[in-house]
Amino acid sequence: MTWQQWLAIGIGAFGCLALVGAVFVWRQALRVERAREHAIESAAPLQTPPVTKGGFPSRARHPRQIAVVVNPTKEATVELVETVKTLCSDAGLPEPFIFETTAEDTGRGQAHAAIEKGADVVCAAGGDGTVRAVASGMIGTGVPMGLLPVGTANIFARNLDLPLTSVEESMAIVLGGRTRNVDVGWARVIEAAPVHPLDGAIRRATEGDTQPFLVVTGLGFDATMVAEADESLKKHVGWLAYFMAGARHIHDKRVPATIWLDDDEPVTTNLKSIMVGNCGIIPGGIRLLPEATLDDGELDVALVDARAGMVGWTQVLGEVVLQRAGIKSGGGRLGRIEHARTRRTRIRVEAGELAQVDGEHLGQVVELECWVQPGALTVRSI
């Protein structure tokens, strides 16, 4: 094929992707509207819920005391807090506890403090980083976490089919939605690489560093996008800033990697990116991991390979579009995605690669281990 034909294929694939995203957004809006109407009708508070043996409130349908952990650096924070206070008052609830994150504690300590103070729902108001930090303080407690998305990508909220632009609709689900137990993924740095190559800066991952993830952890191309995404650009174009950062690396070399899945024999192959996901949807309504769900007790692994620059990535994009429609193409000669499911995986890249968890980069690692903790986090959901 000529480059003009490949360009036409790429444009067509992007058009299909946009259409799929529009359908996803439309379906999500319908579900949210139905949930919002039901939640508002049933948001009256109940009696004080009983307490479990662990000292935490049981998962009652209606909360009695809300706490909000808010990232003060996000825009419209003051307005969000005032809206939450008004909605709690309208529902007959006491004024919510408000905890602000800091550079030193991005949500974990505030979640603990909220539970100790008596909150039976703790809301994370921020982006995926704040959500992950708050969740890390709530894993295993049985206390539900609510989401008030105000970040760039809000990927975890998307996978729960939660509203992304309305505090009122988000609070309707916090007050009148259901509780749901979801899995938590964990990533541990087994071996760190000595040098981080990004912009010539020296940066080490920390061996033994163990982090939870709600959405995805990855090595290679996706982690490079996370590390290089421009913060000011993210404020203007949102999640597209990640793809713009990735465009600078479409010609990067493939990485030799060895992957262990559960007790199977290791497999060695050359890849551009390795992603281990707890759920399947990324921004734009793209289902990267077609079989992944939040409560299946497994992790889903995507092995992404692309050669010949844009040609290979166009084939990868086409495969993503097809799998979103339920079609398995088998991949192209120059671009492919292979999927696997596992409870535990270990990934080794001898040359070292950047790693990330839910959009937070860990540094450059040689070996990373991931596993799933089934049903460890309770959330308010539709």
Q: What is the mean pLDDT of each run of 10 residues along the chain (382 residues)?
A: 43 44 43 47 38 39 89 86 96 96 95 97 93 96 95 86 92 94 97 68 78 92 67 58 57 81 92 89 72 93 70 55 56 69 96 88 92 97 91
Is residue 211 domain-resident? Answer: yes
Q: At what angle do helices 3-41 and 310-324 cross, to 10 degrees?
A: 40
Domains identified in the chain, total number: 2
Q: Can you give the residue range of the structural domain that contains 91? A: 42-176
The reported pLDDT for the residue numbered 167 is: 94
The reported pLDDT for the residue numbered 227 is: 61
The reported pLDDT for the residue numbered 198 is: 52
Q: What angle do CA 80, 231, 168 make, to 5 degrees?
A: 20
Q: Is the domain of 170 the same as that of 235?
A: no
The reported pLDDT for the residue numbered 268 is: 92
The reported pLDDT for the residue numbered 357 is: 92
Q: Rounded to two decimals, what is the model's pTM?
A: 0.77
The reported pLDDT for the residue numbered 151 is: 73
Is residue 7 domain-resident? Answer: no
Q: Is the domain of 58 the same as that of 87?
A: yes
Q: How do beta strands 299-306 and 97-100 pair?
A: unpaired
Q: Is the domain of 62 the same as that of 106?
A: yes
Is residue 19 domain-resident? Answer: no
Checking 19-28 for CB contacts under 8 A at 24+ apart, the result is: 20/285, 20/286, 20/321, 20/324, 20/325, 21/284, 21/285, 21/286, 22/285, 23/285, 24/281, 24/285, 25/285, 28/158, 28/161, 28/285
Q: What is the CATH number of the domain that holds 110?
A: 3.40.50.10330
Q: How do beta strands 121-126 and 145-149 pair?
A: parallel
The reported pLDDT for the residue numbered 187 is: 97
Q: Is the domain of 128 the same as that of 225?
A: no
Token pair 């729960």 in the structure block, residue: 160
Sign for the CA dihedral angle at 216, 222, 226, 232 comes to negative
Is residue 226 domain-resident? Answer: yes
Is residue 13 domain-resident? Answer: no
The reported pLDDT for the residue numbered 38 is: 46
Q: Is the domain of 88 the same as that of 221?
A: no
Is residue 2 domain-resident? Answer: no
